[in-house]
Chains A and B, each alone.
Chain A
């Protein structure tokens, strides 16, 4: 019997957890197939199978799931990540993700590999979370245990390398606040990172901030956000607000994102008070590239003027 082919959608938390999943599943002798890069065609399919009001990242995700089904994988891996910190959850759409996929795409139920994840920290390696899945795939507990150990140490190493950033103070540094799937999906944000780099700009994101700093900032807040990744953005955002090395902040927000509407409002009011240049870029399934370029160019010009 050949290896089991497991599809991972190149969307949502793929951009955060792929190193972990890659290690885990290779240790479990499962062949991983990552969906193709986001494309127009994929997004169109995603749009077709989702309700029009839902946020773009979910539409993108559905497009990737369909892409994997097309590639003939045995299962698509859609974990239900409930919490990666005590009493702090992910957005309701993550909590209901497998339910939503199961009930939006016809005849997909048997193609979904899902299990619940509740963890105390960023690492997804909690053994208990995987027991049901291991049973379903006939994987022994021992094998699962060791695979998780290895995946975890690989993950910790990876996080450490992310933290090593050198800021060149001579050029402009912009902090990008936004979820990984908005920052790193080149199609959906129209290659924002490349555009900024071509303008010779340093970029920092929340993953480059030590989680202890993030947590300290969150503690200063009257009531922490309910959503873990929003908290990470919140902590990093307030850290950037105070940091003199950061010349400006761009909040990259997806059309229809609920948590962003809350955090964005706080940051905008406080950035204003801290006199830190702040701009919200709203990404949408349709925004034109010229529109985006105009806005970031104008913002960069403003920062240059301020710095000189």
Chain B
């Protein structure tokens, strides 16, 4: 069994998971122009963009020898929950013989879920199984903890010192096998970041931007044109609404994670969960405002069903909360220059408004 999986965010966590169970892995290449072209060509025109990119990733991985694809399903009503089935149908139609292991929520079909689990568990004991899952969970947490510091400090590190540490950190995390090792790497990386001579400016001189929206385009930097790095390079701190460890919390411990709290904050705008992360997206804006952020960037794939609903109300929310919001739709046709121009102009606007408000406060 040669396993591959969709490329989303810090893929080393998924790779580690299969590695711990002694599976052979075909690493999905980081989505490139070629991946997108391939995916677009083999996908229905009106499928959403992540569907097309993932299709491209699968085709590249199959070419590299993958015969088994592991992915998640869902019970909607967002289209993403159906990706697996449709990818399979189209790949079959093209004559590619690959197995799909699609993880749907356990409560939907318990026996199917267990069957899938056993395929992953392979020859390991159940004891090892739980141990490995715990390692993965801790790893995801540790990486996200580090990344959150990076997203802040990188704004004040124009010469790339922070990026260098971050890159090395990912390599180090890739080598771990035990929880102790994870803790060691995390502590060391944090110390490295602390030792840099980066002084966070006084609170009033810091600009913080939150990134919200559809999970795939928010997490996969090669698809969102490395928007976090770009924002950082303009001297702005960033935080996003999705991190892998939060996603794990949400999926397996839905009532204990932070998302319940965030959703509640968005309830005045979207009453009920409507699929995807629309309610969280809206709740996050409120949350960012509460936490003193200066602007919000909303990312979504072109035509994304749930995020279109949240996008419909952004004008009103921006006005209600007095926080600038920029919405960007991403698909194969969007030009990088267009995104960059809008992001830059947005930051100019955020800065001007911030200083205007400060002047107002000063002069009463």
Contact = CB atoms under 8 A, between A and B. Distances in A.
A265 B85 contact: no
B276 interface: yes
Residue among A116, A226, A257 with most chain B CB within 10 A: A226
Contacts of A53: 302-303, 308, 311, 329
A132 interface: no
Interface stretch (A5-13, A94-102, A186-194, A298-306): A94-102
Given A96-B274, A98-B271, A222 B46 contact: no
Interface in B270-290: 270-276, 278
B342 interface: no
B77 A95 contact: yes
Given A92-B306, A96-B270, A103-B269, A223 B85 contact: yes
A156 interface: no
Interface string A31-52: 0000000000000000000110
Nearest to A97: B309
B312 A226 contact: no
Given A89-B275, A92-B275, A262 B47 contact: yes
A44 B181 CA distance: 61
B143 to A, nearest CB: 31
Interface in A60-114: 80, 82, 87, 89-93, 95-96, 98-100, 103-104
B275 A256 contact: no
Contact of A99 (B75, B78, B85, B269): B269
A267 B312 CA distance: 31
B29 interface: no
Interface residues of A, number: 37
B114 interface: no
Contacts of B77: 89-92, 95, 226-227
B308 A54 contact: yes
B257 interface: no
Contact of A96 (B82, B278, B317): B278
Nearest to A265: B44
Contact of B303 (A90, A256, A262): A256
Interface of A is mostly: mixed
B86 A87 contact: no
Contacts of A82: 272
Contact of B272 (A95, A226, A227, A269): A95
- Of A50, A53, A257, the most chain B CB neighbours within 10 A belong to A53
Contact of A95 (B47, B82, B275, B317): B275
Contacts of A91: 77, 305
Nearest to B44: A265
A93 B308 contact: yes
Contacts of A225: 76, 82
A100 B329 CA distance: 18
A83 B302 CA distance: 26
A264 B44 contact: yes
Contacts of A260: 46
A19 interface: no
B312 A50 contact: yes
B75 A87 contact: yes
A82 B274 CA distance: 9
Interface string A231-260: 000000000000000000000010011111
Nearest to A225: B82
B75 A226 contact: yes
A219 to B, nearest CB: 14
A261 B45 CA distance: 8
A146 interface: no
B278 A116 contact: no
A95 B76 CA distance: 12
A53 B311 CA distance: 10
Contact of B309 (A92, A222, A227, A257): A92
Given A51-B312, A223-B85, A256-B303, A265 B90 contact: yes
Interface string B292-335: 00000000001111101101110011000000000001000000
A93 B306 CA distance: 7
Given A54-B312, A225-B82, A266-B86, A89 B76 contact: yes
A95 B313 contact: no
Interface in B249-284: 269-276, 278
A80 B93 CA distance: 38
A260 B86 CA distance: 12
A222 B85 contact: yes
A118 B329 CA distance: 32
Nearest to A49: B312
B86 A262 contact: yes
A91 B44 CA distance: 19
Contacts of A80: 271-272
A92 B303 contact: no
A260 B46 CA distance: 8
Contact of A226 (B76, B269, B308, B309): B76
Query: Which of B269, B276, B312, B313 counts the most A-chain CB atoms under 10 A from its CB?
Result: B312
B278 A92 contact: yes
A265 B270 contact: no
Interface of B: 44-48, 73, 75-79, 81-82, 85-86, 89-90, 93, 269-276, 278, 302-306, 308-309, 311-313, 316-317, 329
State the 5 A-B residue pairs at the shortest beta-carbon distance, nearest first: A226-B76, A103-B313, A261-B46, A96-B309, A95-B274
Given A258-B46, A265-B47, 8 more contacts: A53-B308, A87-B75, A89-B76, A104-B312, A226-B75, A226-B81, A253-B46, A266-B89
28 contacts: A54-B312, A80-B272, A82-B272, A89-B76, A90-B77, A92-B78, A92-B274, A92-B278, A92-B308, A93-B309, A96-B270, A96-B274, A96-B306, A100-B309, A100-B313, A103-B313, A103-B317, A104-B313, A116-B272, A226-B81, A253-B46, A257-B46, A258-B303, A259-B305, A261-B45, A262-B86, A264-B44, A265-B44
